Amino acid sequence: MAPRANWKGYLKLSLVSCAVALYPASSSSSRVSFNTLNRQTGNKVKRIYVDPDTGEEVPGEDQVKGYAVAKNAYVLVEDDEFDAVKIESTHTVDIEKFVPRSEIDPRYMDAPYYIAPDDRVAQEAFAVIREAMRDSGMVALARVVIARRERILMIEPWDKGLLGTVLRYRYEVRDAAAYFEDIPDLAIPAEMKDLAHVIVDRKAGHWDPAEFEDRYETAVVEMLRSKQAGAPAVEAAAAPRPQNVVNLMDALRKSLETERAAVAEARPKPIAASKSRATTKEKAPAPAKAKGSARKRG
């Protein structure tokens, strides 16, 4: 089944443009989902909109968006009025500038999208824009309207296509100062830092998403399988809660010992040398006894 595009329009770089489609690059569909049921009947319940004054259900055709301008006072906005609000980025991803990717604050990054040409005619222009970006070593900043909101889009080459990452606006990112202002500036002893550096070095590796599993999701799935099979639920032992370290130096030393033990445990065991067999001289077989009774001397 072909992927379904969330948005279709044009990618534009100055006077060069091409038809493109945006596809979500992430998904949550594989997560375990639950329905809300009536505990008494076991039936799935549904949400309904009710007028608080009349107590009656409001059908879909009578539901309308409203913007609050005062208490219990709203400006009503119809769907066709939303559709009438059109700006250039409604159907065009217009690249405004190129910047070094290192300048993009990771706090601003939100949802990723794959960007691909939408028809064969667009492929050449798409490739030109992609390769020009690849050669520049920078990412593009553009604007696009998705779900009735204009979004900032960071665009970069990705394999044979482009990756667009929606960026948050400045007002959507909280300033860190309010959260970190009470953290004092401390003088850390060199020995402590050295021990911490050793632990970091021993834990150093490379990013591999396959190494990480949603262990909570796995535990929920196992619980559901047990319940479905009629087995009693098994309550896992609660993990001990971490506490503040009283003696930091001792904790660092013990951490280092633990890491060393883990490395030693993971190291391949050497093949044990075969024990040399002790050579023993074979005993000469005892001479066979003469058969028959000895003759009596006369």
Hey, what domains does the chain have and what are their CATH numbers? 7-31+87-172 (2.40.290.10)
Q: What is residue 50's predicted lDDT score, i.e. its pLDDT?
A: 93
Q: Which range among 42-46, 88-92, 168-172, 207-211 shows the weakest confidence by mean pLDDT?
A: 88-92
Q: What is residue 298's predicted lDDT score, i.e. its pLDDT?
A: 38
pLDDT band at 33 (very low <50, low <70, confident <90, very high): confident
List pLDDT tens digits, range 103-126: 999 999 999 999 999 999 999 999
> pLDDT exceeding 70 applies to what percent of the chain?
82
Q: What is residue 246's predicted lDDT score, i.e. its pLDDT?
A: 56
Pick the more confident residue, 286 or 44: 44
Whether 180 has a pLDDT exceeding 90, the answer reads: yes
Q: What is residue 220's predicted lDDT score, i.e. its pLDDT?
A: 84
Whether 289 has a pLDDT exceeding 90, the answer reads: no
Whether 218 has a pLDDT exceeding 70, the answer reads: yes
Q: What is residue 280's predicted lDDT score, i.e. its pLDDT?
A: 46
Q: What is residue 31's predicted lDDT score, i.e. its pLDDT?
A: 81
Are the C-beta atoms of 190 and 183 separated by less than 8 Å?
A: no
pLDDT band at 215 (very low <50, low <70, confident <90, very high): confident
Average pLDDT of the segment spanning 197-220: 85
This prediction has a pTM of 0.70
Q: Which range among 16-25, 115-124, 245-254 shows the weakest confidence by mean pLDDT?
A: 245-254
d(CA 217, CA 18): 41
Q: What is residue 2's predicted lDDT score, i.e. its pLDDT?
A: 65
Q: Which range among 68-72, 109-113, 127-131, 291-295 shows the weakest confidence by mean pLDDT?
A: 291-295
pLDDT band at 80 (very low <50, low <70, confident <90, very high): confident
φ, ψ of residue 99 to 5 degrees: the values are -140, 155
